[in-house]
Amino acid sequence: MSRKTCAIGLLSLISLNLITGCDNQVADTKYSIEDFRPANWPRTCQQIKQVLEKSPGDRIIYQNRPQNHNIQSSWEFNWLGERLPIPALQYQHVAVSSSQKVNGDSDKNAYSVKLSGELKGKTVLVSIERGNVLTQPMDDVFSAVVDGVKPSEEGKTLTKQFFGGPVTMVHLMSQSYNYQSSDFTCNRSQWEKEVPIAIRLGGKSSRNDTNDNDIAAYKLDQGLVSLSNRNNNERWRSLWEDKNMYNSVILELPTGHNYGKIGLGVKQSNWKSAPDSPKWLNTLATALKHPKPSNWEALAQDFEAAKLSEESIASAKRMAVKAQ
């Protein structure tokens, strides 16, 4: 394959070349649709298996979601109707935008909110996004996710055969933690079973890079939540599909924090929120749900009153202009 890196960020998947590796011998391999035919599957399978075995998190599969989330010191944030936990701390920067584009067109329902603050001298990052890049139906999943495969009628036929029709990236990712590379036999007789597993496992490897060490994965309704270690930080990542849109939440905190299993609170109601949430947090929720200029202007005022960064205030003002 042409790519030399294992890292493909969750929200930079427009290229969608998922099955990629860090091993130089394997990384230079380019596939074609012929490689996924029954006669060629044993060889192709061995190549893919070799890559996935070296991928962070290959052995991580779904486990039961704990009923006791043990979430502590987190504010409740209403994200377009979903309840999200936000670490209760002093934030310096909160940026809001709606600039994501798909096929050159801006989607008015696509939002991005990024928060940063400090905890005992270390950075806490919260990133929340909504868009439709990852929910675009792929009628030829092979050309969409496998490096080198060109669009073809055969690819469309196999997509329908294996997945029942067009499939989204969120679907592939949410299915990926049902499998691991040891599920492959690489026998020709297992071709029809194992090719779709390979495609789904590409979704798992796309969520990780060389700095991520997966610890656990849990199912969400129409999505997933995973926990990993990244550069001595704890990283919770949630992804789910809703009304042809995807929602992504990333919570990155220094290890040893006191927020409990905060990532398990995403889309859940059975946890108690911390008191004294800042006024701007509720104003932000209102502006996202009712994106009128007056609501964004109110957010800019709340940002200023809370002494957030100049860029935070400017981002709210830009949203007010866009809403006109």
Q: Indicate the range of 4-8, 77-81, 113-117 predicted with least confidence.
A: 4-8
For residue 247, CA distances in Å to 47, 146, 237, 290 come to 33, 24, 11, 18
pLDDT in tens, 246-270: 999 999 999 989 898 999 999 988 8
The CA dihedral of 36, 42, 43, 48, to the nearest 10 degrees, is 70
Q: Are 46 and 194 in contact (CB under 8 A)?
A: no
For residue 220, CA distances in Å to 52, 60, 104, 241 come to 24, 16, 30, 10
- Give just the sign of the alpha carbon dihedral 4, 152, 35, 180: positive
Question: Residue 111 in 3-state DSSP?
Answer: strand
Query: Averaging pLDDT over each range in 102-111, 147-156, 198-207, which range is the top one?
Result: 147-156
pLDDT at 106: 52
pLDDT in tens, 138-171: 999 999 888 889 999 999 999 999 999 999 999 9
pLDDT in tens, 17-52: 333 333 433 445 678 999 999 999 999 999 999 888
Whole-prediction pTM value?
0.86
